Structure 1
Amino acid sequence: MLEITLALLLLLVGLFYVFMTWNFGFWRKRKVPGPTPRFLTGNYPHLYNMKRHVVYDLNEIYSQNKQQFDAVGIYGARSPQLLVISPQLARRVFVSDFKHFHDNEMSLMVDEKSDFIFANNPFILVGDEWKQRRADVTPGLTMGRIKTVYPVTNEVCQKMSEWLRKQIRLAPPEGIDAKDLSLRFTTEMVTDCVLGLKAESFSDKPSPIMGYIKELFTQPWTFIIYFVLVSTLPALRNIFKMRFVPLRIESFFVNLMQTAIDARRQQLAAGKQFERVDFLDYILQLGNKKNLDTRHLTAHTMTFLLDGFETTATVLSHLLLLLGRDEQVQQQLREELEAHLNAKGIIDFEKLNELPFLDACVQESIRIFPPVFMSNKLCTEPIELPNKKGENFTVERGTTVIVPHYSFMLDEEFFPNPQAFQPERFMQPDAAKKYREQGVFMGFGDGPRICIGMRFAMTQIKGALVEVLTKFNVRVNPKTRTDNEYEPTAFITTLKGGIWLDFEPRQ
């Protein structure tokens, strides 16, 4: 009996091994070179233990193959993926061959039944649905509307300064959490600009909005486990879909949206004209035009909220970190800002977007800490591609294509001394655009699916920097690590251990 039991166990182990490795000939059959995958993890050795951020594993493959190939075949567990090595090919994926790589892989993991809000985000939508939604949302983010709500930016900046002074008086030995500071700022900004409501993020009794946002972007381990499972069994994506926005958070934002709509309509009914033509004004017009209910209006609005809270706060906090590390760059930027302050101590909207060193500092920070460190695209139409020293190959419909933005932006070949904060890299006219056209800088993506909130985010970040640097000196607290290592489990790029800063009021 023992022998039979052992034999059955060995048979099961053998079958499991065959199942996990059966697909490992996928790329070899298609004449696509690539590193040898490992049992269970494929080409992601830290897939299960999460001891190191996934981007470092991809970067090793990139570094080993960039002189020989434009792309290599790799495996997530047992799922084949095409890793783009050449920035020129990356540019093709996003721009010139966009119709062949139209959709994002995450679209396979979400539907309206599992997550109504996230399924209606342009990032998830596919084909004509994406095209229509982008066309619906984009007019709400014109420079004219951004300029209209710019005074809100300045009001929130003043609240941030008052909050910082209060925190300084408390003198926390570990410094101030820069991510918390930045998230308070973006929460107050986006809630007011998008919904016309106050989040009270800098008060002693903030509204629940910020708490829900933090919860939303602090995903449970079940989220990571889901990704591991669908890498092992891709068919699971057809059976089990993911919920990114928990039901209680969805309910909160639907109710919040209804509150904003009711408040705005009461103003209009009372004959009061709202003082600005903001994003909510546009969304309400769109809702009337398309006969959308509150849930659909919330889904449209969450495009602004999801894209505006966390990613913008991430960029701002990392930029404060980099400026805190370099007093010389900080002072150089401060001098540029102070030279353009008006009588109210702010910089006019038109001038804000014309300051070269300010823009260079933001772009350089995004290069070192890209919020989106890689893109997982889907091949939507078959295409034949060359492969430098390898043979031509065909990418089949449904293939996952990975573009490792981190690898291009932190490559010594394109950016000498890549871990160093050197804003002068972006001081040449249209430097960011030129880098993007080379395929080596995609801080906001590229092509038709480039981030629609890019200009709004840049205005927020720059406005906050004007306030902080003209009112405070920024230093890095010893609690903060000195390198740029990423948090292993972070969905959006985050410095491991957090960013802790000391602020000193300027006289």
Structure 2
Amino acid sequence: MAEVVQLSLSLFPSAYASSCAMCPIFTALFVIAAFLALIYVFLTWNFNYWKKRGIPSAKTWPFVGSFPSIFTQKRNVVYDIDEIYEQYKNSDNVVGVFQTRLPQLLITSPEYARKIFVSDFRSFHDNEMAKFVSKNKEVDKILANNPFILTGESWKERRAEVTPGLSANRVKAAYPVSQSVCKKFVDYIKRQLVMASADGLNAKDMCLCYTTEVVSDCVLGISAQSFSDNPTPLVGMIKRVFEQSFGFIFYMVVANLWPKITKFYTVGLFAKDVEEFFYDIMRKCIQMRRDNPGQQRDDFLNYMLQLQDKKGLDTVELSSHTMTFLTDGFETTSQVLSHCLLLLGRNPEEQTKLREEIGTGELSFEQLSELPFIDACIHETLRLFSPLMAARKLVTEPYEFVNKNGVKVKVYPGDVVIIPANAFHYDAQYFEDPQSFKPQRFLEVNGGVKKYRDQGVYFGFGDGPRICPGMRFALTQIKAALVEIIRNFDVKVNPKTRTDNRFDDTYFMAALKGGVWLDLVERK
């Protein structure tokens, strides 16, 4: 036998050598294939998690889970959620979905949505974002004490501290500041019209200048010089506050694949230079107010200083508290204001109704608060372009859902349930002709905001105990600006602006894709 082998090798030496050379390649390919197979199994092994529990599961892909748009960014991820809602809303109260490989529940029942926010709040009182943001105030100075992020008793304590600073009396005290800023805003718009191109005015930038000025004045007692040719760096930094870094997005993906990483490693939501800028400006404003006790005024910063004396807060805690007012007031309010102007521009008859309600005289805070149509216009805007497109709530106590077919499923602390707010807002079952701007839906004669909140289908400011604490302040800002703009200008939509309500592909709030561009015509 040995002789035969030896003879074969002598007759075919090149073939033997080639065979030996290929062995490492085949081994490497096998190792790579095995490794990829292991990854695939790791990513998909629990994709039958909900089916085993008798709950239908939405279509799911390896790595991207049920929401591929998070990764493709070809459209806003809310459309992934909306499509799942539409597919299952008539057959199920809940449907299983996956965030990468983590099982979560999507709520399709308004009754359950209402329970999660309000009546059964105790079982869902934390927000999922809390899992990804560090509670260490040295790691994340801006969000460490933000009520949206905090959980459990910490949330209750901070909420109780912040809420009195946003009382009706304090908002009323700040109203003259808002009125003064609104007058400057109108002058600023008139100057911009002189220089406007054929594309019109960028409503988002214009409104952000306004909210920056009014919030920085009302909260910190300083001017951002937003309406001047040389605004302070505050304006530019505000635009960067909600620009999520790639590092944070990647961290969230890794945390969903391997949740244990959150126990020993975190990544800040905001860029460090942005965080340091705001922390520094807070520190300077606080010190300036401390050094000039004779210049005190009844604003939010003054309230926070009183809270610091009472609670013994350090500078980082105080700054984090104050940033709650700022972050809630800058971006969100400017988005709502710009989209409200867009919708009024598209609907001149509604704009005329609003102008008639506003009248020509100066409005007191009480008078402004009693204008039903302006309230209805804002809430209809919040329905169509909601800052809260989908709420992601952490389960904090075991809870049992019952599907329409009678199957029960239990969720446990740490699980996540998703409330598809945008899907409810655009559901024709609850809002007739949902794509259209119809403020009369929210008039008291038709049931008002309460009607839709009680049904569990409207979440303009959220709902329940964790409803937006700055809601009253935001509404006052928006209404004060609308009054002055509608009085002084006819609002028209520039042809550059798209005619549908398509959302921006990547922005986390509802923002019109391509931006809002307006033609404002000064009224004589």
Shorter-chain TM range is: over 0.9
Q: Aligned partner of 2:323: which letter?
A: M
Larger Rg: 2
How far did residue 216 of structure 1 move? 1.2
Contact 1:487-1:496 at 8 Å conserved across structures:
yes
The CA deviation at 1:201 is 0.6
Pick the aligned partner of 1:334 from 351, 355, 363: 355
Q: How big is the shift at 1:41?
A: 1.8
The 5-angstrom pairing of residues 139-178 of structure 1 reads: 139-178=164-203
Are residues 1:137 and 2:162 paired? yes
Distance 2:287 2:398 in 1: 49
Letter in 1 for 2:151: V
Secondary structure in structure 2 of the residue aligned to 1:80? strand
For residue 336 of structure 2, what is the aligned residue in structure 1?
315
Please name the residue that 2:207 is paired with: 182
Secondary structure at the aligned position of 1:243 is classed as coil
Secondary structure at 1:123's aligned position in 2? coil
Q: Give the Cα separation in 1 of the matches to 2:122 and 2:151.
A: 11
Question: For 1:208-240, what per-residue CA distance to the aligned partner results, in whole angstroms no more than 9, with x for missing partners?
Answer: 111111011122333333333333333333343
Could you tell me whether the CA contact under 8 Å between 1:69 and 1:390 is conserved in 2?
Answer: no
- SS of residue paired to 1:47: helix
Q: Which moved more, 1:209-218 or 1:404-413?
A: 209-218
Give me the whole-angstrom Cα distance separating, in 2, the residues matched to 1:51 and 1:489: 8
In the TM superposition, 1:84-233 aligns within 5 A as 84-111=107-134, 112=136, 113-233=138-258
Q: Distance in 2 between matches of 1:129 and 1:220?
A: 27
Amino acid of the structure 1 residue aligned with 2:227: F
**Displacement over 4 Å in runs of 4+:** none
Asked if the contact 1:79/1:234 (under 8 Å) is kept, the reply is no
**2:127 corresponds to which letter in structure 1?**
N
1:57 to 60, 66, 80: 80
Q: Secondary structure at the match of 1:48?
A: helix
Task: Give the letter for the 1:67 counterpart.
Answer: N
CA shift, 1:242, in A, is 2.8
- TM-superposed deviation, 1:44: 1.3
TM-score, normalised by the number of residues in structure 2: 0.93
Rounded Cα–Cα distance in structure 1 between residues aligned with 2:114 and 2:267: 29
Shift of 1:273: 5.2
Distance in 2 (CA, whole Å) between partners of 1:493 and 1:230 is 25
Q: CA deviation at 1:383?
A: 1.1
1:249 corresponds to which of 250, 256, 274: 274
Tell me the distance in 2 between the aligned counterparts of 1:329 and 1:255: 44
- CA–CA distance in 2 between the matches of 1:414 and 1:7? 56
Aligned counterpart, 2:392: 376
Specify which of 308, 315, 326 is matched with residue 294 of structure 1: 315
Q: CA deviation at 1:145?
A: 0.6
> Could you tell me whether the CA contact under 8 Å between 1:68 and 1:390 is conserved in 2?
no
Partner AA of 2:389 in structure 1 = F
Contact 2:245 2:270 survives alignment (8 Å)? no
Q: State the secondary structure of the residue aligned to 2:148.
A: coil
Is 1:362 equivalent to 2:378 in the alignment? yes
Q: Unpaired runs of 5+ in structure 2?
A: 1-23
Tell me the residue number matched to 1:501: 518
Matched residues in 2 for 1:476 and 1:224: separation?
A: 34
User: What amino acid is aligned across from residue 66 of structure 2 in structure 1?
Assistant: N
1:423 aligned residue = 439
Deviation (angstroms), 1:261: 2.0
Number of the residue aligned with 1:446: 463
Q: Does the CA contact (< 8 Å) of 1:116 and 1:299 recur in 2?
A: yes
Q: Within 1, Cα distance between the matches of 2:252 and 2:347?
A: 38
Aligned partners of 1:389, 1:496: CA distance in 2, in Å? 39
C-alpha root-mean-square deviation of aligned residues, in Å?
A: 1.4
Q: Rate the CA distance shift 1:266–1:94 in 2: closer, same or farther, 3 A.
A: same
Q: Map Cα deviations across residues 353-411 of structure 1 (whole Å, 9 max, x no partner).
A: 11111111000000000011011110011111211124011112210111110010110
Tell me the secondary structure at the aligned position of residue 413 of structure 1: coil
- 1:270-281 aligned within 5 A: 272=294, 274=296, 276-281=297-302
Q: Which amino acid aligns with 2:481?
A: A
Q: Trace 1:373-412 onto structure 2 (pairs within 5 A).
A: 373-412=389-428
The one of 258, 272, 279 equivalent to 2:283 is: 258
What is the CA–CA distance in structure 1 between the aligned matches of 2:193 and 2:317, rounded to whole Å? 43
> Does the CA contact (< 8 Å) of 1:445 and 1:451 recur in 2?
yes
**Do structure 1's residue 37 and structure 2's residue 60 form an aligned pair?**
yes
Shift of 1:48: 1.5
Please state if 1:471 is matched with 2:488: yes
Give the percent of matched residue pairs that are identical in Structure 1 and Structure 2. 49
AA matched with 1:404: P
> Deviation string for 1:456-503 (max 9, x for gaps)?
000000000001000011111111111111111102221111111111
SS where residue 105 of structure 2 aligns? strand
Structure 1: distance between partners of 2:103 and 2:148: 22
- Cα distance in 2 for residues equivalent to 1:285 and 1:36: 53
Q: Counterpart of 2:30?
A: 7
Q: What is the TM-score normalised by the length of structure 1? A: 0.96
Q: Which residue of 2 aligns with 1:325?
A: 346
Cα contact 2:106–2:418 (8 A) shared by 1:
yes
CA contact under 8 A between 2:245 and 2:269: conserved in structure 1? no
Displacement after TM superposition at 1:79 (Å): 1.1
Q: Gaps (5+ residues) in structure 1?
A: none
Return the letter of the residue paired with 2:352.
Q
Say whether the 8 Å CA contact 2:142–2:279 is kept in structure 1: no
State the secondary structure of the residue aligned to 2:85: helix
Instruction: Work out the CA distance in 2 between the residues paired with 1:119 and 1:294.
Output: 13
Instruction: Output the CA distance in 1 between the equivalents of 2:428 and 2:172.
Output: 38
- SS across alignment from 2:72: coil
1:282 maps to 2:303:
yes
Matching residue of 2:9? none
Distance 1:69 1:218, change over 3 A: same
